Structure 1
């Protein structure tokens, strides 16, 4: 809202009067309808106070009214379910995303300084990084490798020749006054990414959706700003010049949930091809989203254009979103803000906005810069980047299996559910799925069974769920298991496969196996070399099945203890079947060592009940 003169505010607070002249001056950012409502509220308060000098009026102070309105808006947003926040009947949302990912390289993009952000501030800085007069950029060729691998994973056409340009803007985090990027001739163009239902897209998008990628370009990062509690801004130039990959999508996303799914999928892909090893949680990947809305009926549609798509509404950009949830929440908040402004007769301005985690509204940062403001120009100090066919062929042939294909193999060949397959692929930088494959291979050798679907389901439960629970009990999962991206683990795959094999061949019980796993983990952590077989021998844990006499004795005791349930079983029907399961459960509970076979127990309890009929 517009500023109120201090003198007018003083009269209102202390004297009960508020001059309507020059109060709440109309502002272009405030819709006329909203402005007039606020003025009427103030008039009402003033008139009532004058008519009732005793001060017993029930009028609400203007400042409190504004707070109540804000609370009401926040409450209404929180009450809307996630599914309700995806589709609108009268408006269409359009989103394009720019993802900035830090490339996995040893050196910076244009200097030989080490590429790190976690060391002591300002310890890895070259002369060019701080724009020392006379210093020049030297393109580090090795940074090209992860960039091309990422472009190939995103189905892009890698350009045989690309160039660097200067993007001018002035801020304290950019020492040279410009950023070196690729604007006119990017590294790669015309790619796409396919999102499936299991990736978490909005249900309105169906089973799958393909989002186009306009271009992929290399650029340098800025310095890191550190703000102290005293309000001072400190600069860490370790980050300036780090090699970034900017991925620009086409504006083909229409649901907030799908936008978040795309960013998540890109992170998984970049990690899978070793192009970017730091995700959003570590600050190695950030997203800017461009948001616009337009009426579905086309009324009042502006002839705006974004990335070659005409007829879109005026877009705004939300900068530096650092989590998948922030992407979805910020889009919803900005979408709702734009709709509210347009429905009240206002106009959307092209601007850059910010988002704070936990907020319900985006916040204006500055007007949106255009191409003219950045004064793009080819960098005269850098020559073209030429990519040969031999390099492309080598990187394409060594790209490996991408996550979608890996998930399909785990589902179809190893019998895992899509959910479990996705979890395996995403954990430990791909190390968990490598460990899983090693365990299955060992099980094939130990058992002689080549049914990969059966062994895969068996191993998947232990590698994903049992070991996951073990690691969470011990602390941070990655550190506890010491899992590497190659599939090495604190519990060797041969040890876990042996444990699973003894369980699968009925040599130990499931209860015994679950007891042995934490002991095995503790031994391996402490360096105690002891095989699973030796652990079973020492504990006398080999499975000894119950004899027929023992089965019958337990069944009789259960039948004698529950005569009413036995009568209902003899009566037959659906109710009788339920009571039979109850009696079977009572038998299993009396087997404290886990030696009872459920199928054998069912047969024996049925025989004992039938004998009781006679």
Structure 2
């Protein structure tokens, strides 16, 4: 293949003009479309000049408004309902009788680094478009890649978290393809000699795997490779695309699994677990929601048993899935499509497919490229990467506690449920768990618990459960969108941890009611109450809890059971052994009635339940006992 002259490359980069000679002829349909876009919108089309993504379109009325994600899903659900189709419950849609699903996943994660992979330009996520671009990033003639050694640190930490074997020597390759978001016409990656191999991730039932996988499943990782990211493309009306080259060259790792996943829910759980692992070692600070992690899934089906069950079926790849829900939904849709094609006597084509949010079907994008199409070759401008054992040992010893060990600690030490522990670990890209620890430390300091300088040891962990409940549920009720809380990686938000600890310390001591505590939380979130004046606000507004005495609770309990012979009879039958289960629902019905009959500001539901339960032990209904 002849070398493309520098003059032709410069015409491509600066004006979008491409030669019809040589290997580019195979791409002429796409090139023709781009040239047509240049004629229709010469000022903003690809190839003339790169417009900042913040520029305002010439026709402001033509710019479509983007609806919130929740609203989009609701609209799509309405359309689906109107069409008469219904989605199966995901729990019942993990398998198809007579068929076996095989899934492999490729995860691309942006590394947490200050520099790009092959240029000294700074990494940027929210800065002004095209403000951090080096000559090599846009493939200026004569520019050379310069590997930035500091990008290795988060990459190795990520590979160690995935239980991979770090390779002492790795090398970079060129993966050739033409697209406007890749100026050089190739991407630098590590196809043949990656820096890490042979890893594994263990998934448990608490991670959300499919019930068919039991309590535990292990997914093998074939390799982890470093590679550079592409430019960010922002679609505009009229077929125009704006390019932000700040993202070109950002260091990525690509995590490639073995084809060992058999159920859609397990695939989604795997991606979620990988995101949590990468965040825990500070390798990747942006999750799927923020665009820092993207997943491609390879899907194939085959009949269970029989002659054709010995080999995997033809696989298709679904590109750029950007949420855990999309991973599961897209796999289910593609599995069902392939089964329908095979049952109709058709043949599955190896191809690349796409997925739209809220859709029920995948769509064809293009034929599947293979190793020959990408023309992999060693990069002649980059030498091998040598990773010393001393660096690996140091990073392994400084990683700290990994998510599974931390979740086990939350369950065993503080009594949290597996679901709550996992939620704390995953919310806000791992910042919510740090917020919980901040609240817990401040709460224990106010209660005088766990102080190394002589504080008392807590006889139980009720205060920790209280803190976890409020950090998860009550905090989540403040806003529809978690991002509105303003949670930082350091574990602080619009409700400072010390303020929430102050509220919970009074609630734990029963100085205030839960209703008052919630009102205080709302006041701090809205900025109506200063974060450092919780106690002063309670005092100024006389919100202190003056609880009823035992005698007053007992008097109310006797009052609410009057006339409830049928309900009370359920407790008597349980006492006599005529009912198997304690009538807890009936008890809570009476507690609610008791709370309404008394003064809410002076009553604690737990105390009301305790007194009422004791009174019911002594209740007698003669006509029922005579039966």
Range of TM-score over shorter length: 0.7 to 0.9
1:431 is aligned to: 431
1:493 is aligned to: 497
Q: Secondary structure at the match of 2:237?
A: coil
Aligned counterparts of 1:299 and 1:532: Cα–Cα separation in 2: 72
**1:414-563 matched pairs, under 5 angstroms:** 414-445=414-445, 446-447=447-448, 448-451=456-459, 453-469=461-477, 471-472=478-479, 476-480=481-485, 482-522=486-526, 525=527, 528=530, 530-547=532-549, 550-551=552-553, 554=556, 558=559, 563=562
Q: Secondary structure at the match of 2:438?
A: helix
Q: Secondary structure at the match of 1:519?
A: helix
Aligned counterparts of 2:223 and 2:609: Cα–Cα separation in 1: 61
1:598 is aligned to: 608
By how many angstroms is 1:226 displaced? Answer: 3.0
Unaligned runs of 5+ in 1: 1-70, 303-310
Counterparts in 2 of 1:440 and 1:77: CA distance versus 1, 3 Å: same
The answer to whether residue 348 in structure 2 is matched with residue 327 in structure 1 is no
Aligned counterparts of 2:349 and 2:621: Cα–Cα separation in 1: 85
**1:385-424 matched pairs, under 5 angstroms:** 385-424=385-424
Moved more, 597-606 or 371-380: 597-606
Paired residues of 2:499 and 2:532 also in contact (CA < 8 A): no
1:102 is aligned to: 110
Query: Which is higher, the Rg of structure 1 or of structure 2?
Result: 1
Deviations 1:120-168 (A, max 9, x none): 3322221111111111000111111111111111111111111101112
Paired residues of 1:490 and 1:521 also in contact (CA < 8 A): yes
Please point out which of 589, 594, 599 is paired with 1:587: 594
Aligned counterparts of 1:272 and 1:489: Cα–Cα separation in 2: 19
Paired residues of 2:553 and 2:608 also in contact (CA < 8 A): no
Paired residues of 1:92 and 1:294 also in contact (CA < 8 A): yes
Q: Give the TM-score taking structure 1 as reference length.
A: 0.78
Counterparts in 2 of 1:598 and 1:321: CA distance versus 1, 3 Å: same
Aligned counterparts of 1:498 and 1:317: Cα–Cα separation in 2: 52
**1:6-45 matched pairs, under 5 angstroms:** none
Deviations 1:517-570 (A, max 9, x none): 333445xx46836443323322333333434664566467x36xx753369859
Counterparts in 2 of 1:501 and 1:380: CA distance versus 1, 3 Å: same
The answer to whether residue 264 in structure 2 is matched with residue 262 in structure 1 is no
Q: Secondary structure at the match of 1:399?
A: coil
Paired residues of 1:98 and 1:289 also in contact (CA < 8 A): yes
Aligned counterparts of 1:117 and 1:380: Cα–Cα separation in 2: 30
Paired residues of 1:511 and 1:594 also in contact (CA < 8 A): no
By how many angstroms is 1:604 displaced? Answer: 8.9
Q: Secondary structure at the match of 2:227?
A: strand
1:140 is aligned to: 148
2:563 is aligned to: 564
Deviations 1:31-72 (A, max 9, x none): xxxxxxxxxxxxxxxxxxxxxxxxxxxxxxxxxxxxxxxx99
Unaligned runs of 5+ in 2: 1-78, 449-455, 576-581
By how many angstroms is 1:467 displaced? Answer: 2.3
2:284 is aligned to: 276
Aligned counterparts of 2:503 and 2:149: Cα–Cα separation in 1: 48
Aligned counterparts of 1:583 and 1:297: Cα–Cα separation in 2: 58
Aligned counterparts of 1:457 and 1:95: Cα–Cα separation in 2: 38
Counterparts in 2 of 1:605 and 1:114: CA distance versus 1, 3 Å: same
Moved more, 399-408 or 226-235: 226-235
Paired residues of 1:353 and 1:366 also in contact (CA < 8 A): yes
Q: Give the TM-score taking structure 2 as reference length.
A: 0.76
Aligned counterparts of 1:144 and 1:78: Cα–Cα separation in 2: 47
Aligned counterparts of 1:315 and 1:606: Cα–Cα separation in 2: 65
Deviations 1:175-202 (A, max 9, x none): 2221110011101000011111111111
Deviations 1:558-611 (A, max 9, x none): 36xx75336985997239997887665443322232336326743896699789
1:157 is aligned to: 165
Aligned counterparts of 2:502 and 2:241: Cα–Cα separation in 1: 57
Aligned length: 526
Aligned counterparts of 1:580 and 1:483: Cα–Cα separation in 2: 40
Paired residues of 1:413 and 1:452 also in contact (CA < 8 A): no
**1:201-212 matched pairs, under 5 angstroms:** 201-212=209-220
2:71 is aligned to: none
Aligned counterparts of 2:437 and 2:348: Cα–Cα separation in 1: 53
Q: Secondary structure at the match of 1:413?
A: helix
Paired residues of 1:440 and 1:452 also in contact (CA < 8 A): no
Paired residues of 1:272 and 1:402 also in contact (CA < 8 A): yes
Q: Secondary structure at the match of 2:564?
A: helix
Counterparts in 2 of 1:366 and 1:517: CA distance versus 1, 3 Å: closer
Counterparts in 2 of 1:247 and 1:535: CA distance versus 1, 3 Å: same
Q: Secondary structure at the match of 2:298?
A: strand
Counterparts in 2 of 1:537 and 1:196: CA distance versus 1, 3 Å: same
Counterparts in 2 of 1:278 and 1:434: CA distance versus 1, 3 Å: closer
Q: Secondary structure at the match of 1:408?
A: helix
Aligned counterparts of 1:533 and 1:389: Cα–Cα separation in 2: 55
Aligned counterparts of 1:606 and 1:86: Cα–Cα separation in 2: 47
Counterparts in 2 of 1:161 and 1:520: CA distance versus 1, 3 Å: same
2:189 is aligned to: 181
Counterparts in 2 of 1:545 and 1:322: CA distance versus 1, 3 Å: closer
Aligned counterparts of 1:78 and 1:612: Cα–Cα separation in 2: 55
Paired residues of 1:551 and 1:604 also in contact (CA < 8 A): no
Aligned counterparts of 1:243 and 1:80: Cα–Cα separation in 2: 39
Aligned counterparts of 1:316 and 1:117: Cα–Cα separation in 2: 31
By how many angstroms is 1:286 displaced? Answer: 1.4
Paired residues of 1:584 and 1:601 also in contact (CA < 8 A): no
Paired residues of 1:352 and 1:364 also in contact (CA < 8 A): yes
The answer to whether residue 261 in structure 2 is matched with residue 253 in structure 1 is yes
By how many angstroms is 1:368 displaced? Answer: 1.8
Counterparts in 2 of 1:554 and 1:604: CA distance versus 1, 3 Å: farther
Moved more, 224-233 or 436-445: 436-445
